[in-house]
Each structure stands twice: as C-alpha cells, then as structure tokens.
Amino acid sequence: MKPTPPASTGAPPPPHVRLCIGVTGHREDNPAFAAHRAAIEAQLAQVLDLIAAAVADEPPPRGAGAIAPIRLHCLLADGTDQMAAAGALARGWHLVAPLPFGVALNAAINSHPATAHDARAVLSGTEGGPHACSAEVWQRAARIHALTAQARLFQLADRDDLIAHLFLEKLHHPEDPRKASAFAAESSERVALASRIVVEQSDLLVAVWDGASRAFVGGTGHTIQAALEMGAPVVWIDANAPARWRILLGPEALTDTKVASTAVAPSHEIAGRQAQLQALVRAALHPAPARNPGAHHGRRPRHRPLSSPASLDRERLARRSNPLWHLYRRIEALFGEDTLKRRLRSLRQSYETPDDIASGSAAKLLAQASALPGQEEDYIANVETAILRRFAWADGVSAQLSDTYRGSMIANFLLAPLAIVGGLAYLPFAGSEGKWPFAVFELALLCAILAITLTGQKRRWHSRWFETRRVAEYLRHAPILLMLGVSRASGRWPQGTETSWPEWYARHGLRDVGLPHLAVTQGYLRRAVGDLLHQHVVRQRDYHIAKAKRLAAVHHRLDKLSEGLFSLAIVAVATYLVLKGGGALHLWPPGIAGRLSDLFTFLAVLLPTFGGAVAAIRYFGDFERFAAISRVTSEKLQTLHTRIAQWLAAPDSALDYGRAADLAHATDDVVVSEIESWQAVFGGKHVTVPV
C-alpha cells in the first residue's frame, strides 16, 4: 500500500542577503582626479572599508542565513572604476561589470588609442602584444582584460558594429569634428545605459566627482543625478577635496556642490557620516519594522506579524483548496459567468508546489529562456531556484489565504441575515410558544460570526494575504526582467501600509540572481522581447480583459438582485397595507390582514435584510472598482503590446537594448501600479463583524 502524500510542502529557503554597491567616477584624464589621485585612492579605500565594516556589524535578518559577500558594480573604465574594481577583488567581493560595449570593443575604446591601427590591434587581439600597437595602449587594454577576466560581464554588444565603425572613422579622420561628435553621441548613450544598470542593481552609489557638470550624458555628474532621481543614495567623494566626502539623498542635494573650505573634516562630521553610512547599509540589509501592526483593532495582534522571511517559512500550503472557503469565488462564478455550467463548475484548486513549477506552468518559460543565444544553463537553474520556486510558494499561499479571508467575510455577510431572519422565523411558523429553537439558531449563527471574526483577526488572514500576494506579483514577471538585465531601482519599490518585508524579499530575490553573464546581441534582444516579454504582456492583457468583463457582470447582477429584493420588500409591505385598508373598508373580511400579519412581518424583515447583505457583499468585493482597475491595466498592456509589436517588426539592425529595457520597465511599472491600486481598494477591509 502506497503511503499517503503529505498534506503540505515546505517553503523554499529565503534569498541570500547581500549589499550591492555601484561605483562611478572620473577617469585618469580628469584634471581634478589627476591632481588628487593618491588622496582619492586612499579615501575610496576608506569608504569601501567603512561599508565592509558596516556589513560585518549587521546581524543577518531573521531566517535569512549569513549575509553574502558584497557585490560591486562598475563599468571598468580607467580611473575610479578600476580603482574600485581592484579594491573589491582584494576584499573578496563579487565584481560585476555591465559593459556599454562588447568585451573587445570596450577594451579598444577604453585603452584610448590615438590611431586606427592601434584600435584595430586591440579589437582583433592581434598576437604580438605591444609590438602590434603602442605599448601604452596595449598596457591599458591588458589591465581592462585582466579585470574582465575576474568579473561577471553583462555586455551591451547589440550596437557594436555601428559603434566600432564610428570609432574607427573618428580615428581615421581626427580633423573632422562631425565624426568625433557622432562617435561621442552614440558611445555616450551606451555608457548612460550601462550606468543605469549599475544604479538599478545597487543599494547605494559611490561616486568620485568634481561637482563641475551634470550635462554630459553618461558622465559621472549625469549618473549621480540619475541615481538620486531613482531614489538611490550617493556617497560623493569630491575629487577636489576627497576627505570631505558626504552622502547625497535626493536630486535637490545637488544644489550645493561647492568645494569644502578645509581639506580635513572635523571629528563630529566624520562620526556623523559614518553613522549615516551605517544606517544606509542597515536599511538595505533589513526590512523596515512593521508599522503599527494590528492598530485597526486597537490592540497588538496575538498572532505574530509577517515581518521577516522566517514568517513566510511558517506558512503551510495545502495540496488543494478547501471548499469551505470558496464562497467568494462562488459569488464570482454565479454572478460573473454566462452559462449555468460555468456558474456551477467545481472551484477546487490544486496548488502548484515549488518542486512542480519547473515541469509545470514555468516549463515553457524556462525552455524559451534556455534557448536565448549565449544564455548559461547555470543562470537559468538559478532563476528557477531563486525566483520561480519562491513565486510558486508565495502564489499558492496567497491563493489559499485569499480564499480563507474573502470566503470568511462572505460567510459573515450571509450568516448575519440568516441569524436575523432565523430569529424571527417563529412568527409565521411556530408562534411565541415555539420561539426558543429559533433563538438557539440565531445565537449559534451569531457565535459563528464572532468566532470567524476573532479567528481572522488573530491569524491576520487579511494582512498575510496582502503580503504574500505582493511577493507573488513581484516575482511573477521577474524572470523576464532578469533575462534583459532590468531591475527596479532600490528607491522605487512601493511601500506597504503596515509591512515592507515583501518588497525587501522580492528585491533580494532578484539581487540573489543578479545580471546574466553574456553578451547582449540584436538576436538575443529579438528572442528575449518576442518570446518572453511580448507573450507575458499578451497573457496579462487577456487576463485583465476577461477579469474586467467578469467583475463588471458580477457588480451589475448583484446590484440588480439587491434592488429586486428591496422592491419585493416594498411589494410585501404595500400588500399588507392594502389588505389592512381593504378590511377596514369592508372590501373583504378584516381578519385576512390579521391572519397574515406575522407572515408579512417576516417577509418585511427577510427581503430587505438579504437585500442589504447582497449590497454589502457587492460593497466588500468592490467588483466595479476592480473591474475598472483591470480595464485600465488591460489598456496599458494593449499599448505596450502595440509598442512591442512595432519594435519587433523592425530589422535586426534597428533593435536597441535601450528601447528593449524601456519596454521591460514599462511592463514592470504597469504591474506595480496595478498592485498599488489593488492595495488601495482592499487595504482597509479587514476581517470584521458585518454590522
């Protein structure tokens, strides 16, 4: 006899927690950098040491295991980037380089050749080393190659042919300013794209900058401003006074970039900066504490709040949904579907476990991701483990809690009128002498309502549903973002009304995987956008179109039912008054109204009571507003579908990573906007007594 399978499955381990930092700064040819190079190098090392010490001082979040090594992102350009990269490797950190070009072109451009001959030698990697080009150029290229060999590379190589042509043309015709301008414009845009990736992948940005200009696209000042606008804090080391580094928060901080009057900072300033840096590290590594959990009940909840990954581990996922809690979904089916068969169909759900998702609902996505040109199987396996398994768990737990919370509220809305009507049913059916069984029935239902309410509040069904649903929705489309090297900047994640751990959990889940190690080509972009992003947008659009239609129907039909019951109540009361008046006028025997008095009293209570309950269910479900949210979401997704289709219709030579990333960001913005709208509607609808 086969053993019975367990009733639940365990949660995947929480994501590794690590601090991710980005570095940007001046190159060797910047006058301020060159004049203070030794001081800048010493100060940069000190800032990195302070960051390392702050991480070492932080205990790991509860249930998250040890804190993983720091990950440093930079473009590996000469000057600041290479200083920081060498420092990261010396400290045992992980080095990640989003390169604005492919490896060969990146080395050729950043080795600063003065002639096309030298540039071609670096591009082709001609044997003979410095004999193939100038020794200085070859040494600079060798330093870049030595660092790239130790880094995880995400190469934006999709425009390399064009950039290489413009680069060589500029070197062939040094007297032609138009050729120099054409190369500068195109290459600066690529550097800006790579810098945006650095900011998106980092919890804070360390920048060496002279404070002179923010106008040069892709330059240090431009990157700092972009980081601040995306909500990322910036540790600014002033190239003119390195010891007077400070922390910038928000783009308005750039209004004061004057050089410090003294080279050495006073002791109180040093202590304040270090404390501020430590606070930034702590905020990146830990979710913010819950804000007034249980305040809506006027007391602290007895059930521990979901405030850490350990709380998610305590959840239990059943194999199948419990029919006792299907009431909300049954309301949707009864009033939202068009056929009797669909209205009465089984609503039993089987929850997909983390172990099953790779061969189940995510099998096609994983196959398409594996087929992307240059994609590594180890990276796909990491996405499956770190993202999809956690999505399956959060999605299943959330669906289970959704049934429990919403089903319990519908049960309360139905039990309340049943209690009222049941308590009065003795009038037409038993008389005053037989009232006690009806009173017992009413008491039992009232106690059931109270038990459901207290249990729901104690176990936080509403809040736990909200929190796990946020995790699931953030992770649902995360694999597609990861394949395109796109992430939501740390300062742009939404904030929950009570807890922030779902956003923290999702963010670290994405950071756990990080950037893929590959060269992005135009063929890669076409496959990633067409097979993954476009299909996801179409599926979500169709889902929201169907949802909007169904919920609008539910709202309309519940409204009509509620109005009908109130109309029947008016008819019942009017009928009684007609019978009473007709008896008084001797149009029929006066005793008719008296004999039917209890029945009409019962109907006058039953009909509006159930009419009110139906109206309360309609109000609680907010079907009309959810339909409107889905309608707006589907329209946004339709616009994205049109944009993606137009982008895919272009020839390969016109495909560009920047536009592909914009489309992925727009999709992410639609998802987050829909989550925020959904929270705004259901956020205050806690489990309560239906009065």
How many other C-beta atoms are found inside a 10 Å radius of the C-beta of residue 641? 17
290 or 233, which is more confident?
A: 233
pLDDT value at residue 70: 96
Give the lowest-confidence range in 80-94, 200-214, 420-434.
Answer: 420-434
pLDDT value at residue 4: 41
pLDDT value at residue 428: 81
Residues 503 and 499: their CA atoms lie apart, in Å, by 9
Give the lowest-confidence range in 150-154, 299-303, 356-360, 432-436.
Answer: 299-303
Q: Say which DSSP state 589 is in.
A: -
pLDDT value at residue 272: 87
Mean pLDDT (whole number) for 156-179:
94
β-pairing, 71-73 vs 246-248, is unpaired
661 has a pLDDT exceeding 90:
yes
299 has a pLDDT exceeding 70:
no
226 has a pLDDT exceeding 80:
yes
What is the chain's mean pLDDT, rounded? 89
Mean pLDDT (whole number) for 568-574:
92
171 has a pLDDT exceeding 50:
yes
295 has a pLDDT exceeding 50:
no
524 has a pLDDT exceeding 90:
yes
Mean pLDDT (whole number) for 87-103:
97
Mean pLDDT (whole number) for 227-243:
94
Residues 584, 586, 590, 596: is their CA dihedral positive or negative? negative
Mean pLDDT (whole number) for 121-145:
81
Strand partners, 218: none
Could you tell me if 19 and 281 are in contact, meaning their C-beta atoms sit under 8 angstroms apart?
yes
Place of tokens 């200083």: 83
Mean pLDDT (whole number) for 365-387:
96
pLDDT value at residue 63: 60
Give the lowest-confidence range in 15-29, 319-333, 489-503.
Answer: 489-503
pLDDT value at residue 64: 65
pLDDT value at residue 79: 95
130 has a pLDDT exceeding 60:
no
Mean pLDDT (whole number) for 279-301:
69
How many other C-beta atoms are found inside a 10 Å radius of the C-beta of residue 553? 17
Mean pLDDT (whole number) for 400-423:
92
pLDDT value at residue 96: 98
69 has a pLDDT exceeding 50:
yes
618 has a pLDDT exceeding 50:
yes
587 has a pLDDT exceeding 80:
yes
Domain ranges of the chain: 20-285, 327-682
Q: Which long-range contacts (CB under 8 A, 24 or more apart) does 594-603 make?
A: 598/427, 598/428, 599/427, 599/428, 600/572, 600/573, 600/575, 600/576, 601/424, 601/427, 601/428, 602/421, 602/424, 602/425, 602/427, 602/428, 603/568, 603/569, 603/572
pLDDT value at residue 291: 67
Give the lowest-confidence range in 222-226, 371-375, 430-434.
Answer: 430-434
Could you tell me if 242 and 42 are in contact, meaning their C-beta atoms sit under 8 angstroms apart?
yes
Give the lowest-confidence range in 59-68, 213-222, 240-249.
Answer: 59-68
Residues above pLDDT 70, as percent of the chain: 92
Mean pLDDT (whole number) for 630-651:
95
45 — pLDDT class (breaks 50, 70, 90): very high
Give the lowest-confidence range in 32-46, 283-297, 495-509, 584-598.
Answer: 283-297
pLDDT value at residue 300: 45
Q: Which of 216, 197, 123, 196 is nearest to 163 (CA)?
A: 123
Tens digits of residue pLDDT in 527-563 = 999 999 999 999 999 999 999 999 999 999 999 999 9
The domain 20-285: what is its CATH number? Answer: 3.40.50.450
309 or 182, which is more confident?
A: 182
pLDDT value at residue 342: 93
Tens digits of residue pLDDT in 312-353 = 888 889 999 999 999 999 999 999 999 999 999 999 999 999
Could you tell me if 221 and 212 are in contact, meaning their C-beta atoms sit under 8 angstroms apart?
yes
588 or 267, which is more confident?
A: 588
To 10 degrees, what angle do helices 657-682 and 177-200 make? Answer: 30
